[in-house]
Amino acid sequence: MAYPTVVLIPLCVPGHLTSMLEAGKRLLGRSRCPMSLTVLVTQMTMSANMMSDVADIIRREADSGFDIRFVHLPAVELPTAEHGGLEDFMVRFIQLHGTYVKEAVSGMSSPVAAVVMDYFCTTLFDVTRELALPVYAYLTSGASMLALLLRLPALDEEISGDFEAMEGAVDLPGMPPVPARLMPTPIMTKGPNFAWLVYHGNRFMEAAGIIVNTVAELEPSILAAIADGLCVPGRRAPTVYPIGPVVPVKPPGDGEQPPLHECVRWLDAQPPASVVLLCFGSMGGSFPSPQVREIADALEHSGHRFLWVLRGPIPADSKYPTDANLDELLPEGFLERTKDRGLLWPKWAPQKDILANPAVGGFVTHCGWNSILESLWHGVPLVPWPLYAEQHLNAFELVSVMGVAVAMQVDRKRDNFVEAAELERVVRSLIGGSSEEGRKAREKATEAKHLCRKAVADGGSSEVSLQQLAREIGEHREYQGRTEATPLPQHVHYPAATLGAASHG
Residues 406/437, Cβ–Cβ less than 8 Å: yes
Q: What is the pLDDT of residue 255?
A: 58
User: What does each C-alpha distance from 15 to 247, 281, 371 come to in angstroms?
Assistant: 11, 9, 10
Closest CA to 117 of 202, 247, 227, 210: 210
Give the Cα-Cα-Cα angle 357, 367, 409 (nearest 5 degrees): 110
Is 118 marked active-site?
yes
Residues 414/365, Cβ–Cβ less than 8 Å: no
What are the 10-residue block averages of pLDDT along the chain, 505 residues in total? 88 92 93 88 69 86 84 88 77 94 96 96 97 97 98 94 93 97 95 95 97 98 97 94 87 66 98 97 88 98 97 82 92 96 96 97 97 98 96 98 98 97 97 88 98 97 96 68 59 38 28
Spatial separation of the C-alpha atoms in residues 227 and 173, rounded to whole Å: 11
Closest CA to 218 of 50, 496, 454: 454
- Domain boundaries of the chain, sorted by first residue: 5-158+199-244+459-504, 262-455
- pTM (2 d.p.): 0.92
What's the half-sphere exposure (Cβ side, CA atoms, 13 Å) at 371? 29
Closest CA to 12 of 94, 101, 87, 127: 94
Helix (H, G, I), strand (E, B), or coil: what is residue 286? strand
What count of other Cβ atoms lies within 10 Å of the Cβ of residue 317?
A: 8
Spatial separation of the C-alpha atoms in residues 421 and 424, rounded to whole Å: 5
Q: What is the pLDDT of residue 492?
A: 47
Residues in the chain: 505
Q: What is the pLDDT of residue 504?
A: 28
- Catalytic pick from 53, 88, 118, 126? 118
What count of other Cβ atoms lies within 10 Å of the Cβ of residue 358?
A: 16
Closest CA to 400 of 423, 384, 421: 384
Q: Which residues of 54-69 are buried (b: 16+ CB within 10 A; e: fewer)?
A: beebbeebeeeeeebe
Spatial separation of the C-alpha atoms in residues 391 and 139, rounded to whole Å: 15
Q: What is the pLDDT of residue 249?
A: 63
* Sheet arrangement for strand 305-309: 342-345, 305-309, 275-279, 360-365, 382-384
Closest CA to 438 of 395, 411, 403, 386: 403
Q: What is the pLDDT of residue 5?
A: 94
What's the CATH number for 262-455? 3.40.50.2000
Q: What is the pLDDT of residue 77?
A: 86
What's the CATH number for 5-158+199-244+459-504? 3.40.50.2000
Q: What is the pLDDT of residue 478?
A: 43
Is 16 marked active-site?
yes
- Catalytic pick from 16, 200, 304, 366? 16
Q: Which residues contact 250 (CB under 8 A, 6 or more apart)?
A: none
Q: Which residues of 126-135 are buried (b: 16+ CB within 10 A; e: fewer)?
A: bbbbeeebbb
H helix or E strand, kind and range, residue 466: helix 461-474
Residues 137/122, Cβ–Cβ less than 8 Å: yes
Tabulate helix, strand, coil % of the chain (nearest 5): 45, 15, 45
* Sheet arrangement for strand 135-139: 68-72, 36-41, 5-9, 112-118, 135-139, 209-212, 240-242
